[in-house]
Structure 1
């Protein structure tokens, strides 16, 4: 069962310039009424929020930025417990563990040196709502006081008035920022006890309230992006307003840690790394694993062509003056553009180049551009690291898949040092994206993205902006959040941060539960996006299938999604899987980008989801059909493409079509004008005819980018069926083919390589001879499963000698 999630406000800081755009109201001191200038809200209804889970060890940090943990401060308000406090106003007394009184109390949290500051602090208070109050603005607050005079973050619970509410206020010597009341209303019942909590870390503030005794929410889940990145807490406290007396106990200041002082404008503080550039490597067959698949030599040719294309124009060294820190994989979509989710998917197959080339350094470039709030935008300029206008506004966030890609690399390389170094960046990004893309005002409380931000530019979605307060919930974005948290939890567990790992798993489970409650349509057997009221917006598209790799769809739901994928009237088209189901009103058989186009990243994710939900046979058949299609188009055009049409086109159309002014068909390609051919997809405008009877609107050519996922990763993982889990010294092999097949020199990071090859056999039920060799200094376990799911374990002894065994 998913953990109970009390409603609440979670506010996250960003650059100060974002305050007004994000809903904050800057008020000059002279213009604020006395009650408001003291930090009390003046807005409409609020809902109550979520925060991070129970105290846990601080995340591992780099040596350049050590975390210096401070002891927690807990006050049960017994006799003498107020000695660490300073009474700012009012009168207080402690009796039998309960503090009673009104006014303001303050106590220091850190005696920091001039070059350091608190980089993490949490203050919480358990309080009883008084039975009555004469003033509707009467409130109870916890606070973090900044290093500058009169600089405070107040979290205020206001139980009285027409609507109970919660509000975070930033007050300074020159004014006050009050963050808009946009959350759902909730009762703060007189006579009941509640816990009020404010947490700050690395310029990010999390705020929440929950009923006493309720399960603590697993993690902060989002609200506003506001301007407080320059805030530096030094003290904590509590305050009442317009109440003659309030009962409180159990004030706690916890998760205190200090570290170097950072500028609010500094980038890359979470995973700092020294700049180290290498020359672009030349393509060398010896640098990549070598698939063996005797019955399909054309797939080996496609595999080689993908690597060759990658090494000619898709690996770049940053120019002088660029803030990028590593030679990197480049999608080559446009000059001087760095695309986030293209880069991520390129690392998913590029990881097989390691350790000969530092593929994951491509992601280090993104962490180097990360803002102090945790923000990483979807498009930057390569030359100077500035955010491109395409990343402005609601379209600025791509699918949050950094942790997923890092986990895939870790499973292959067992590079725990890298995991520990990049975890702070992944966690800060997760905190930020969970704020900026949460529809907290909607009853479903799912996550939203823009039609460009989600990467599927023209896939039909709800009219109007996808987020920005409209309260929509996208099934793909919400599923990707689940996938992010589950990947994070596995990385955190490996790094020893079991507390946060439990938090992230719980948050993933709760979000999955909400997706199944709000987005699943049992009549249609699909997941749909939802509106601000929770109404389903029915578009039968590939977005709903992100629930498979995220582990959201299980059991009968996963089975029904798999059936749809195998349905020729829906997704099992000539080239699988279209972004929009065949028969949908906006479906275009020429692709028209995401209105039917077949794309490598979604195909990879869907097939991975089929594997994860036990549909390994369908996953293998899908991968084989996709590779067959890629190979056919490669044969007629001589290259790989950005996306593919889901249905065959005539030879005459293909011969007359162009991409960027270049003919689609390869020189000398023998095309039957009346024949039917698989082809690359058309772009957003669609199949606008040219004078020759084709179209000039075909997608980009020579696009190994993410299209390398099929020829490389899916060939190794889904068709040949081999995946490594190097940290556990285990390799899983779904051995279901009858030809001679396997992989030579599969890299296992610093552990070395392993080669696994199965001899040909008469049928899938016949015994099979498997030969293995390894350069690893220790034994490896190969878990071999057959077509019926039976598993056997084989030990590969240390050393490079060839070892053979017949499996029955």
Structure 2
């Protein structure tokens, strides 16, 4: 296929997808009522508002001051005021919202607050002494208390414990727009033996759908983008993993604008910060030599995966220079003499916040160093596609140099593992999940990969009931309850490990791990935790049938968070969508889309009926396939295609078979 023809097909696909996405984004945007402006406000220094019922619908607030949410009250005429303050506002709720879930979404209230609707107390958020919601996205369900098609009175009592106070970040009323009318723009997996996995699949899409956000003139972000939705910032670490599952919904979801948010904020010198404010689009910290404020450099990996999935070479042309500049900035600013040519990070920057590492500081972090090698390898591939042989050679040398340094400095031959390098020059000898990036990044050769796999299959280390914990069970600080990155099972690192296994020839273990992960997620979804005392007070509600930020390695349960007391965040899609969407399609059902080559690879390992409808293959094609077992082990594969494509079928113990599939319906018997 010529480059001109490929570009034309991509344009046709985007034109076909655009009306659906534009209609959906318009409907979603109309489901959000910003209520930042024109609140009635009054300080309550003696906390008499409850006694005097300032929350009543008919209470006269006409003499109160007028202020805005999205700013502290100190900046609006109430300097140095700490304590209780009341906000009141009349809000018109559309009549056609009746019958849907409607929530109050607050991006940050300093420090705790109560919500009243039409004179009725609805919800409290925050709890002294240390559970402020100043930097926490909080939701309050409103619809049972609303009068649709009428004006409703919203009263919010805020208690500021000190410092800046009030509703200091954006606040909105948000309708949960039903996704049902748009489901035909998403792939539909078929697996009759496991309807619970299919239920989880659709629930993951629904959660991602409800967290789509929209840029503003103030923040300069994309018109629409995917948001992790747990606070008022966008994160590199979360965004790249969301794109890896969301690409399957690219006809409906604003997938790659999610990464464009970061490229649009890139400094001239190449720097991209790990997170930006969704209020004003600014960097949230000042980078320093000790803390450069970056996340794992995974953009190049995800951009390559998107290109391989769609064949969109024009995007590579646009982002390649940005990715090069970012790599070179890290090369100049995230290395120190102690690391001997390798890279350092910070606990938060690594994304694996409380992983025990020892005194590694500005020495060589195994995960960060290997991730840079991963980036170099994919930059080389991009340069090859773009026809720049000189740059391809440069990035291949960069990858080879990093590979050699990592294997020299971080590989422990006796243990068969990659460790962080301490400032003392010794290896940390802490086995954490970051070492397994070496499989995906082609840093570990075949022999080293085999030894890493031995650790994954070792029940005393990573082969726990829920595969794979982020810290080996043999470590002293391993937490059976999870304790965030001290044993929890996380979707992004599981996806990384599974992808590495697939690419290095360990497909059986990859499929086992994917099924194990999705099965545990589905069990927790079907049988939510009953121990409400383990739910953080700011997240308590009527039911906990949801998808969690991370999971226990030892039993079907959410994992505990950083305080090892409460469970991790709920409704986390977010990267947890990788399990029920990407792992289900890729590893459990066995599909690999090579859109750039107009090829669909289907690895048939299941003996039950399974398949998928409306899977995008290439720039302008959707296909449906179903495999059904027949007599004597024969399999019948029914296919519906909108356009011609190549189907490569792989089966254990048999040679791969490539079939040219014409538009329309066809059947292949194996």
Q: 1:744 to 1:293 in 2, by over 3 A?
A: same
1:574-623 CA distance string (max 9 Å, x none): 22211111120110111111011111100000000000110000000000
Q: How many residues align?
A: 486
| Residue 575 of structure 2: aligned partner | 706
8 A Cα contact 2:524 2:557, kept in partner = yes
Pair 1:771-2:646 in alignment? no
Per the TM alignment, residue 438 of structure 1 is displaced from its structure 2 partner at its CA by: 2.4
More strand by share: 1
Aligned equivalent of 2:430, options 539, 543, 552? 539
8 A Cα contact 2:525 2:545, kept in partner = no
Matches within 5 A, 1:440-451: 441-442=337-338, 444-451=340-347
1:453-491 CA distance string (max 9 Å, x none): 110010011326x22xxxx11111111111111112222
Gaps of 5+ in 2: 1-174, 547-553
More helix by share: 2
Pair 1:746-2:611 in alignment? no
Please identify the structure whose Cα radius of gyration is greater. Answer: 1
| Residue 409 of structure 1: aligned partner | 306
| Residue 479 of structure 1: aligned partner | 370
Task: Supply the distance in 2 between the matched residues of 1:762 and 1:530 (Cα, whole angstroms).
Answer: 57
| Residue 717 of structure 1: aligned partner | 586
Matches within 5 A, 1:785-804: 785-788=650-653, 790-797=655-662, 799=663, 801-804=664-667
Task: State which drifts further: 509-518 or 366-375.
Answer: 509-518
Q: 1:762 to 1:433 in 2, by over 3 A?
A: farther
Pair 1:607-2:484 in alignment? no
Pair 1:308-2:206 in alignment? yes
Aligned to 1:744, the other structure's residue is in SS state strand
| Residue 321 of structure 1: aligned partner | 218
Task: Supply the distance in 2 between the matched residues of 1:744 and 1:509 (Cα, whole angstroms).
Answer: 41
Pair 1:684-2:562 in alignment? yes
Task: Supply the distance in 1 between the matched residues of 2:618 and 2:255 (Cα, whole angstroms).
Answer: 12
Task: Supply the distance in 1 between the matched residues of 2:595 and 2:458 (Cα, whole angstroms).
Answer: 36
Q: CA RMSD in A?
A: 2.3
Task: State which drifts further: 753-762 or 444-453.
Answer: 753-762
Matches within 5 A, 1:48-87: none
Task: Supply the distance in 2 between the matched residues of 1:429 and 1:703 (Cα, whole angstroms).
Answer: 28
Task: Supply the distance in 1 between the matched residues of 2:476 and 2:650 (Cα, whole angstroms).
Answer: 42
| Residue 332 of structure 1: aligned partner | 229
Task: Supply the distance in 2 between the matched residues of 1:350 and 1:535 (Cα, whole angstroms).
Answer: 41
Task: Supply the distance in 2 between the matched residues of 1:534 and 1:564 (Cα, whole angstroms).
Answer: 24
Per the TM alignment, residue 412 of structure 1 is displaced from its structure 2 partner at its CA by: 1.2
8 A Cα contact 2:359 2:423, kept in partner = no
Aligned equivalent of 2:406, options 500, 503, 515? 515
Pair 1:354-2:250 in alignment? yes
| Residue 285 of structure 1: aligned partner | 183
Matches within 5 A, 1:334-483: 334=231, 336-389=232-285, 393-394=290-291, 396-439=293-336, 441-442=337-338, 444-463=340-359, 466-467=361-362, 472-483=363-374
Per the TM alignment, residue 526 of structure 1 is displaced from its structure 2 partner at its CA by: 1.0
Q: 1:390 to 1:701 in 2, by over 3 A?
A: farther
Task: Supply the distance in 2 between the matched residues of 1:789 and 1:665 (Cα, whole angstroms).
Answer: 52
Per the TM alignment, residue 282 of structure 1 is displaced from its structure 2 partner at its CA by: 5.8
Pair 1:657-2:522 in alignment? no
8 A Cα contact 1:736 1:786, kept in partner = yes
Pair 1:574-2:439 in alignment? no
| Residue 629 of structure 2: aligned partner | 760
Aligned to 1:784, the other structure's residue is in SS state strand
Per the TM alignment, residue 389 of structure 1 is displaced from its structure 2 partner at its CA by: 2.8
Gaps of 5+ in 1: 1-278, 638-650, 670-675, 688-696
Aligned to 2:647, the other structure's residue is in SS state strand
Aligned to 1:540, the other structure's residue is in SS state coil
8 A Cα contact 2:237 2:296, kept in partner = yes
8 A Cα contact 2:339 2:364, kept in partner = no
Per the TM alignment, residue 356 of structure 1 is displaced from its structure 2 partner at its CA by: 3.4
| Residue 784 of structure 1: aligned partner | 649
| Residue 141 of structure 2: aligned partner | none
Aligned to 1:758, the other structure's residue is in SS state strand
1:417-462 CA distance string (max 9 Å, x none): 11111111111111112222223x2474211111111100100113
With the length of structure 1 as denominator, give the TM-score of the two structures.
0.58
With the length of structure 2 as denominator, give the TM-score of the two structures.
0.69
